[in-house]
Amino acid sequence: MPRTPLKVPIAVKVVGVYLIVGCLWIFFSDQLLSYLTYPPANVLTQLQTLKGWFYVLATAGMLYWLINRETRVARIATIRLKKALEELQITQRTLQELNAQLEQRVAERTVELQTLSDRLVETQEVAHIGRWELEAATEEVFWSDEIFRIFGFTLGQQEPDYEELLEQHFPPEDRQRLNECVRRALKQAEPYEVDLQIIRVDGSNGWILAKGKPILNDHHQVVRLVGVALDITERKAVEVQQHQLSQMKDDFFSTVSHELRSPLASIKMAIEVVEMMVEELLPVATPGTDDHAKQQRLQKCLGILSEQCDQELELVNNLLDLQRLDAERIQVSIAPIHVIEWVSNIAATFEDRMEERQQHLQVILPDELPPFSSDINILTRIFTELMTNACKYTPPEETITVNVGSSEGHLQLQVSNSGVQIAQDQLDRIFEKFYRIPQSDHWKQGGTGLGLALIKKQIEYLGGILWVESDALGVHFVVRLPLDRAAGN
């Protein structure tokens, strides 16, 4: 193994050279003094030589110390610089690796974004959704490919400017609506959403759902509008068909109801006449005889006929009222109502029925209420239906509670009955037409299934709301009406 050459420090080299030069200088200066001076000066010469040696050695020591210190500082700096260079190299390698990873991630992300962009375009094509932009300063319009398809333009064709688009591809009424929405968005930074009819390039008509959103700069100024246009032509066609079917259904119900109302009224009158004739013509039979039993069966049959006729008349009247409410042809007569007296009087009419069914009635009224005005006939029908409904579904020995109050400018009427609950999945259906909760009529009274649907529409017609809640305490129907009916409308 070859030996590593010994490295001599710089300070040692410099001091060595200095000592050699100093020794030569002392030597030659001593010889010169010996030659120039007489023998009595030998002592002086020796003292000068000793002094010179002292200066040389002292100077050499100081020089060594200074050079060694600077060399040590330089060596430390060199070591630190070397470490810094090594760290820099490590950092450069790390940066190169990170840069390579970043480039790889950017490439992967670019592929993902391109894939998502392609899928978004495909989704827009499938859903018939197009994207558009409108520059606020120039009113230039930029379309996606799907917008071209919706309006029937050829792909790659130059987009029409805003004014041309309004003039040629929207009917006058929708043209004005769209222009108002766009101007309001540009001036007030207000987004919009509106259904519009369009005129395609081939002259056919279609429908779009147009949505627009303003984009603001740092000074809160609108620089452009962005939005989408959804082709809803098929949906509009279905809506038209549904409206036509609904109109046909309403017309059918109206016609049938009117056609049935007169015969049912005649049948009802005939039943009453027959009951009067039976009472007048047939003698009073002795209890326990066959004639008495026949009379009881006859009266029972007449009672069933009268009850069924009343139910059919109620169904017809409910259908007619629903049809009038849908057509908004109900006349409303607004007048002040003394609510406490009105509630007490209607609740009192149900006391005999509740006593017969062993039900308990509790009416909670405040000492006074704010002035309230509404249509008393419609409200009476609403309250009566809620009370009838409570009597129908409340088991014996349970309580029907009527609670009246006011808050935040509204009158609130709540009818609750204990001993019964409604499943959560049926709460939303309870106001549907002809829907009845199965196996919940304890008294087997029957019904049309239109009562709650009708009073809900009546309450909404008066500007109020109706909802139902069910918990461990029972079922609670809550009516909320504005004290000022103008505020409700």
Is residue 189 located within the same domain as residue 56? Answer: no
**pLDDT digits 0-9 by tens, 300-333:** 787 777 777 776 766 666 666 666 666 666 677 8
Can you read off the two tokens belonging to residue 236?
Answer: 């509009």
CATH number of residue 356's parent domain:
3.30.565.10
Q: What is the pLDDT of residue 438?
A: 61
- Flag whether 476 is in a domain: yes
From 197, 231, 265, give the residue that closes a domain: 231
**pLDDT digits 0-9 by tens, 48-84:** 555 555 666 667 666 666 666 666 777 788 888 888 8
Q: What is the pLDDT of residue 324?
A: 66
- Flag whether 109 is in a domain: no
Neighbours of 163 (CB within 10 A): 10
CATH number of residue 168's parent domain:
3.30.450.20
Is residue 458 located within the same domain as residue 367? Answer: yes
% of the chain at pLDDT higher than 70? 71
**pLDDT digits 0-9 by tens, 114-170:** 777 677 666 666 656 888 888 888 888 888 888 888 888 887 778 788 888 888 899
CB-based contacts of 23-31 (< 8 A; 24+ apart in sequence):
23/56, 25/52, 25/56, 26/52, 26/53, 26/56
Can you read off the two tokens belonging to residue 100?
Answer: 């390579």
Q: Which candidate, 178, 145, 146, places its Cα nearest to that of 163? A: 178
Q: What is the pLDDT of residue 9?
A: 59
Dist CA 201 CA 92 (whole Å)? 61
State pTM to two decimals: 0.47
| Interval 248-264 mean pLDDT | 69
Q: What is the pLDDT of residue 478?
A: 93
Q: What is the pLDDT of residue 242?
A: 81
- Flag whether 111 is in a domain: no
- Flag whether 118 is in a domain: no
pLDDT of residue 446 exceeding 60:
no
Q: What is the pLDDT of residue 481?
A: 92
Element (H, E) at 101: helix 42-127
pLDDT of residue 401 exceeding 90:
yes
Please report which confidence band the pLDDT of residue 248 belongs to, taking 50, 70 and 90 as the band edges.
Answer: confident
Provide the domain count of the chain. 4
pLDDT of residue 208 exceeding 60:
yes
From 231, 246, 269, give the residue that closes a domain: 231
Q: Which domain holds residue 64?
A: 10-103
Q: What share of the chain is helix, strand, coil (3-state, %, to 5)?
A: 60, 15, 25
Is residue 348 located within the same domain as residue 480? Answer: yes
Q: What is the pLDDT of residue 426?
A: 81
Q: What is the pLDDT of residue 487?
A: 41
Q: Give the total residue count for the chain.
A: 489
pLDDT of residue 414 exceeding 90:
yes
Is residue 79 located within the same domain as residue 198? Answer: no
Please report which confidence band the pLDDT of residue 403 belongs to, taking 50, 70 and 90 as the band edges.
Answer: very high
Q: What is the pLDDT of residue 198?
A: 92
From 309, 326, 343, give the residue that closes a domain: 326
Is residue 376 located within the same domain as residue 479? Answer: yes
